Amino acid sequence: MRPVPTSIAVKLPKAAELIAERGLDQTKIEDIAEATGIPKTTLYYYFVGKEEILVFLQRDLLAEVADAVAIAVDTDGTAADRLREVMRAQLRVMAERPAVWRAFIADLGRAARLPELVEALANAYYAPVEQLLGEGGADGSLRCSEDPATTAMAIFGAATMVGLRHVLAGHDLDAERMAEQVIAFVFGGLAA
């Protein structure tokens, strides 16, 4: 993949909508070309195939998540406060870029097969969250979890599924409201 100039990059999110709608394999390169206004030949100049176009978008999305999470982690407050911020950040990104997020989830398997993306997600999300879980145990703002990696995964799963439901349903979801619900669930638990 050559470095993609912004003139191209800005047009690509249009492709995400197609891919989210139909899936990658039902999306012809020609369709992407037409939707984005980038000729097929030019697409092949930058990307080795249509997979790579999706990877570009996914990478971009993860970078955004990483930024948002990093900002949240750097907030003042207890680890619990900052974890809440992280979850809000995640759902905010989902709400802001529903098409790319849908494309991401729609091709989760592909993403999982690419070590680069797995690592990107780990760095963007799990690592900071695990860090927070550790700090929360230390500062007393969070219950100490014996397996932070699993807990981080569970948090991500809970937030992602809830977001996904809205994104798939096509509501323009109220990220803050949704975040508060997930936060209540994740912090309070179900026990009476």
Of 21-29, 82-90, 102-110, 163-171, the window that binds DNA (rule: CB under 7 A) is 21-29
The site partner of 157 among a copy of itself, DNA, none (C-beta below 5 to 8 Å per kind) is a copy of itself
Of 7-15, 36-44, 67-75, 97-105, the window that binds a copy of itself (rule: CB under 8 A) is 97-105
Q: Total residues at the site for a copy of itself (CB under 8 A)?
A: 53
Determine which residue in the list 37, 109, 115, 170 makes contact with a copy of itself, applying CB under 8 A: 109
Terminal CA-CA length for the chain? 53
30 binds DNA (CB under 7 A): yes
- For residue 164, which phi and psi values (nearest 5 degrees)? -60, -40
Q: In this structure, what token pair is assigned to residue 40?
A: 């097929």
27 binds a copy of itself (CB under 8 A): no
CA angle 154, 158, 162 (to 5 degrees): 165
* CA distance readout (Å), 140 to 20, 82, 83, 144: 42, 13, 13, 8
Q: Which residues from 34-53 bind DNA, rule CB under 7 A? A: 38-42, 44-46, 48-51
Q: In this structure, what token pair is assigned to residue 119?
A: 């690592």
- Alpha-carbon distance 11 to 5, whole Å? 11
48 binds a copy of itself (CB under 8 A): no
29 binds DNA (CB under 7 A): yes
The answer for residues whose C-beta is within 8 angstroms of residue 110's C-beta and 6 or more apart is 24, 51, 54
Residue with tokens 């790319």: 100
Determine which residue in the list 10, 25, 138, 176 makes contact with a copy of itself, applying CB under 8 A: 25
For residue 176, the minimal CB distance to a copy of itself (Å) is 14
For residue 152, the minimal CB distance to DNA (Å) is 34
- Alpha-carbon distance 158 to 60, whole Å? 23
Q: Give contact residues for DNA (rule: CB under 7 A).
A: 2, 5, 7-8, 27-30, 38-42, 44-46, 48-51
